């Protein structure tokens, strides 16, 4: 490590918790995925007990030099078991477990998240703890087994005696994070606490309570190589909570005030539709050709029938594992889009990504092409519905979904005897350049949106460029050096008193490298959408916002336009002022704004989608000699 790099090794107090959701290379909480070492299971000193439902278990599981923070929520058992697992370092937040087995005190289940597959096998013992072994498998890492002992706990936000405090953590003069801390006293399973940071997508995340004595609380969120700690003093009578946030050597003051209301309600989302709906809603499940199930929600206008079929749309989410509503930062964009399109007379199918929610399948080794097979299967399912005109089914893809759409379209139109191939595509903030190029501009836009000067941003952008070059060349020694330089350069921009130690830096760099080694990333960085778009045979609508920091409009829209002109298909390109990656009206476009903005998607975008898809499918309808369509009433 050179001297210039060493001089910048200051710890970050803000980027570790949730920025991995914002950009692929902003320092996040993935350093805890080092292969855990095998260990003997903790001894059971007391006789076993029956698994309670509902119940919560939480704690840390030793994983090599670090640990995994795990929260297991047993929602229900019996005929319809449901267990939700949170492992932030592995990208799992309230993720529904698969293959749940319960028998008396025994509890087994599987959690498959992007890059990691974990099998829990344990028992609930008489004092309420859940003990056993976790078997982990991850790409490019040896399988490993770790012993665990998780404590019984409570959901602080659900407790009637819970107290919530809200305040703003000042990172630097122009950047602050709104935070909410919920506290609940001991009601049988010890005191409980939860943390929300809307701008980073952290919603009522359980925290470990190390101490609660006389109004002084010591809380931890042990995620990745830079765990977060809060030392807070509570003045119940005065409605104040204050103290210090510590992370990787940094210390920041935090002052909060008591708030009232429904602590579990989350931020206001006025666009989220509520029943009763003026259309039909069906929960559906179908089988992928490779065997796994895909679950979703189908919404259909009430006027649709086999005699009057309507056009249909499959919604395809962006990168990362998403539920059917594409839930992010408390927003449900696909719920809002599906509502608008169905009211506009269209049948809409939105599905959980593989291994998420009700869908099966293994996402640990999946690339964009595997996700495209899921979308392909969804379009075929939608075409088979009696109220849907199979000749008028298209895809609306957001972000990476805008890359999946042309893949599916090419497959369906290149079949030897295509029958009812994809009829149209909508690309919402979809890429038009190879992933490697997109990620470099993404990083530049994100650091600009954060208020970072060009001089301070230069080391970050240069180290990221070298990292991507090394990964493309499969030079993993250079990639490791570049990753260390990257996390060091990022840390240098944020407040902190003491320097991060070398072990912390290396652990964070390991997290970046682990991400770069995933099959998805290996394929994404070289995948070029332009040839796929140039082969298009259907009308295309492409929309980007000028404040999109993740898929830059100026970089991607011109290349999309050029490719579609080569294809010679009808197309409409919309560059919308002031909208971010989620198509929200924004101020800077930075990811930290997503959760703070109440609007889920700009109403003008919804109007454009209803108008363009309606007109496009009506033209297709007329050319095919088909009549009819639903009005959603």
- Per-residue pLDDT tens digits for 176-191: 778 899 999 987 889 9
- pLDDT for the residue 40: 39
Pairwise CA distance, residues 481 & 487, whole Å: 10
Name the strand (E) or helix (H) holding 267. Answer: none
- pLDDT for the residue 628: 37
Q: Which two tokens stand for residue 592?
A: 């930290």
Q: Which two tokens stand for residue 121?
A: 């096998």
Name the strand (E) or helix (H) holding 195. Answer: strand 192-197
**Residue 30 pLDDT class (50, 70, 90 cuts):** very low
Pairwise CA distance, residues 372 & 383, whole Å: 17
Lowest mean pLDDT among 87-96, 277-286, 419-428, 462-471: 87-96
Q: Model confidence over 617-627: pLDDT tens digits?
A: 986 555 444 33
Q: 355-371 burial, b for 16+ CB within 10 Å, e for fewer?
A: bbbbbbbbbbebebebb
Pairing of the two strands 116-124 and 540-545: unpaired
- pLDDT for the residue 621: 54
| Same topology between domain 34-153 and domain 156-259 | yes
In terms of C-beta density within 10 A (0-12 exposed, 13-18 middle, 19 or more buried), how is residue 62 classed? middle
Integer-rounded Cα radius of gyration of the chain: 25
Q: Which two tokens stand for residue 300?
A: 């259909």
Pairing of the two strands 202-213 and 240-247: unpaired
Task: Tell me the three-class secondary structure of 348-411, residue by residue.
Answer: EEEECCCCCCCCCCCCCCCCHHHHHHHHHHHHHHHHCCCCEEEEEEEEEEECCHHHHHHHHHHH
Query: Is residue 330 within 8 Å of residue 307, measured between CB atoms?
Result: no
Pairwise CA distance, residues 92 & 149, whole Å: 19
Number of C-beta neighbours around residue 454 at 10 A: 10
pLDDT of 197 above 80? yes
pLDDT of 426 above 90? yes
Pairwise CA distance, residues 500 & 32, whole Å: 16
Q: Find all residues with CB under 8 Å of 573, minimum gap 6, and list them.
A: 542, 557, 560, 561, 564
List beta partners, residue 58: 71, 151
Q: Find all residues with CB under 8 Å of 30, minimum gap 6, and list them.
A: 20, 89, 90, 91, 224, 511, 512, 514, 515
- pLDDT for the residue 118: 87
| 44: three-class secondary structure by DSSP | coil
Percentage of the residues of the chain whose pLDDT score is greater than 70: 83
DSSP assigned state of 86: E
**Residue 365 pLDDT class (50, 70, 90 cuts):** confident
pLDDT of 408 above 80? yes
- pLDDT for the residue 530: 97
Name the strand (E) or helix (H) holding 507. Answer: helix 502-516
DSSP assigned state of 275: S
Q: Which two tokens stand for residue 71?
A: 């929260």
Mean of the pLDDT values across residues 27-48?
35
pLDDT of 449 above 90? no
Mean pLDDT rounded to a whole number for the chain: 84
Lowest mean pLDDT among 375-384, 559-568, 580-589, 616-625: 616-625
- pLDDT for the residue 593: 85
Q: Model confidence over 62-105: pLDDT tens digits?
A: 866 567 899 999 999 988 899 999 988 777 788 888 889 998 89
- pLDDT for the residue 509: 84
- pLDDT for the residue 495: 55
Q: Which two tokens stand for residue 384?
A: 């088979």
DSSP assigned state of 329: T
Mean of the pLDDT values across residues 271-294?
94
Q: 136-146 burial, b for 16+ CB within 10 Å, e for fewer?
A: bbbbebeebbb
Report the residue count for the chain: 633
List beta partners, residue 296: 284, 351
**H helices, E strands: number in the chain:** 12, 25
Domain parsing of the chain, residue ranges: 34-153, 156-259, 282-433+528-623, 435-523
List, as one string, the DSSP characters of 466-503. HHHHHHHTT-HHHHHHHHHHHHHHHHHTS--SSBPPHH
Pairing of the two strands 66-76 and 55-63: antiparallel
Pairwise CA distance, residues 179 & 329, whole Å: 13
- pLDDT for the residue 188: 84
Specify the residue for token string 């009696």.
386
Torsion, Cα of 445, 451, 457, 463 (10° steps): -60
CA distances from 520 to 333, 366, 526 (A): 24, 6, 11
Q: Which two tokens stand for residue 34?
A: 């080092």
CA distances from 506 to 1, 86, 211, 289, 301 (A): 11, 25, 30, 42, 55
Specify the residue for token string 């991400």.
515
DSSP assigned state of 232: E
Cα 248 → chain centroid = 24
Phi, psi of 240 (to 5 degrees): -130, 150
Query: Is residue 526 within 8 Å of residue 559, measured between CB atoms?
Result: no
Nearest to 279 by CA among 328, 307, 312: 312
Pairwise CA distance, residues 543 & 326, whole Å: 18
- pLDDT for the residue 632: 35
Pairwise CA distance, residues 483 & 511, whole Å: 9
Mean of the pLDDT values across residues 386-414?
96
- pLDDT for the residue 403: 97
- pLDDT for the residue 3: 34
Phi, psi of 11 (to 5 degrees): -80, 150
Q: What is the largest CA-CA distance in the chain?
A: 77
pLDDT of 326 above 50? yes
pTM over 0.85, yes/no: no
> In the CATH scheme, what is the code of domain 282-433+528-623?
3.40.50.1820
List beta partners, residue 256: 167, 241
How would CATH label the architecture of 34-153? Answer: Beta Barrel (2.40)
Pairwise CA distance, residues 584 & 578, whole Å: 8
Q: Which two tokens stand for residue 329?
A: 């930062």
Q: Model confidence over 124-141: pLDDT tens digits?
A: 998 889 999 999 886 666
List, as one string, the DSSP characters of 591-631. GGGTTT---SS-HHHHHHHHHHHHHHHHHHHHHTT------
CATH topology (fold) of 156-259: Lipocalin (2.40.128)
Nearest to 401 by CA among 364, 376, 436: 376
Number of C-beta neighbours around residue 307 at 10 A: 9
- pLDDT for the residue 24: 26
Pairing of the two strands 202-213 and 571-576: unpaired
């Amino acid at each position: 490590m050179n001297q210039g790099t060493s001089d910048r090794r200051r710890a970050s107090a803000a980027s570790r918790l949730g920025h991995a959701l914002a950009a692929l290379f902003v320092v996040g909480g993935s350093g805890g995925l080092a292969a855990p070492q095998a260990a003997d299971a903790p001894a059971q000193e007391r006789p076993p007990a029956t698994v309670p439902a509902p119940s919560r278990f939480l704690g840390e599981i030793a994983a090599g030099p670090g640990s995994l923070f795990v929260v297991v929520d047993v929602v229900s058992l019996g005929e319809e078991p449901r267990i939700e697992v949170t492992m932030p370092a592995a990208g799992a937040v309230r993720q529904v477990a698969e293959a749940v087995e319960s028998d008396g005190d025994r509890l087994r289940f599987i959690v498959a998240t992007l890059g990691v597959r974990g099998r829990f096998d344990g028992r609930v013992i008489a004092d309420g703890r859940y003990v056993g072994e976790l078997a982990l498998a991850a790409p490019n890492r040896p399988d490993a087994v770790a012993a665990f002992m998780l404590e019984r706990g409570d959901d602080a936000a659900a407790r009637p005696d819970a107290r919530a405090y809200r305040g703003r953590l000042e990172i630097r003069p122009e950047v602050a994070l709104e935070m909410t801390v919920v506290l609940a006293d001991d009601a049988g399973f010890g005191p409980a606490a939860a943390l929300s940071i809307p701008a980073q997508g952290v919603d009522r995340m359980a925290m470990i309570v190390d101490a609660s004595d006389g109004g002084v609380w010591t809380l931890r969120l042990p995620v990745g190589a830079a765990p977060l700690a809060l030392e807070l003093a509570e003045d119940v009578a005065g409605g104040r909570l204050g103290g210090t946030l510590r992370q990787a050597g940094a210390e920041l003051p935090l002052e909060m005030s008591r708030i009232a209301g429904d602590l579990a309600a989350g931020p206001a989302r006025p666009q989220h539709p509520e029943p009763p709906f003026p259309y039909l809603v069906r929960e559906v499940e179908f089988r992928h050709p490779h065997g796994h199930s895909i679950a979703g929600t189908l919404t259909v206008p009430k006027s649709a029938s086999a005699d009057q079929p309507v056009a249909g749309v499959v919604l395809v989410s962006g990168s990362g594992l998403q539920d059917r509503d594409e839930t992010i930062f408390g927003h449900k964009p696909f719920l809002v889009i599906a509502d608008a399109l169905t009211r506009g007379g269209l049948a809409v199918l939105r599905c959980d990504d593989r291994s998420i929610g009700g869908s099966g399948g293994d996402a640990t080794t999946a690339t964009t092409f595997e996700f495209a097979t899921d979308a392909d299967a969804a379009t075929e399912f939608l075409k088979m519905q009696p109220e849907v005109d199979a000749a008028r089914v298209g895809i609306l893809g957001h972000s990476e979904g805008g890359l999946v759409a042309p893949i599916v379209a090419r497959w369906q139109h290149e079949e030897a005897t295509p029958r009812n191939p994809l009829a149209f595509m909508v690309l919402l903030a979809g890429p038009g350049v190879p992933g490697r190029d997109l990620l470099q501009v993404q990083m530049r836009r994100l650091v600009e949106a954060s208020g970072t000067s060009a001089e301070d941003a230069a080391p970050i952008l240069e180290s990221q460029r070298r990292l991507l070059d090394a990964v493309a060349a499969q030079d993993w020694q250079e990639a490791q050096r570049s990753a260390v330089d990257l996390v060091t350069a990022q840390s240098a921009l944020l407040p902190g008193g003491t320097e991060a130690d070398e072990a912390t830096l290396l652990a964070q760099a390991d997290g970046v490298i682990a991400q770069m080694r995933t099959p998805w990333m290996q394929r994404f960085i070289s995948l070029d959408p332009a040839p796929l778009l140039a082969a298009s045979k259907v009308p295309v609508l492409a929309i980007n916002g000028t404040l999109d920091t993740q898929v830059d409009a100026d970089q991607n829209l011109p290349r999309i336009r050029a490719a579609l002109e080569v294809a010679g298909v009808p197309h409409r390109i919309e560059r919308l002022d002031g909208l971010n990656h989620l198509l929200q009206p924004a101020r800077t476009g930075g990811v930290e704004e997503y959760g703070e903005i109440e609007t889920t998607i700009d109403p003008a975008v919804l109007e454009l989608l209803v108008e363009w898809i309606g007109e496009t499918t009506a033209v297709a309808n007329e050319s095919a000699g088909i009549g009819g369509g639903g009005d959603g009433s």
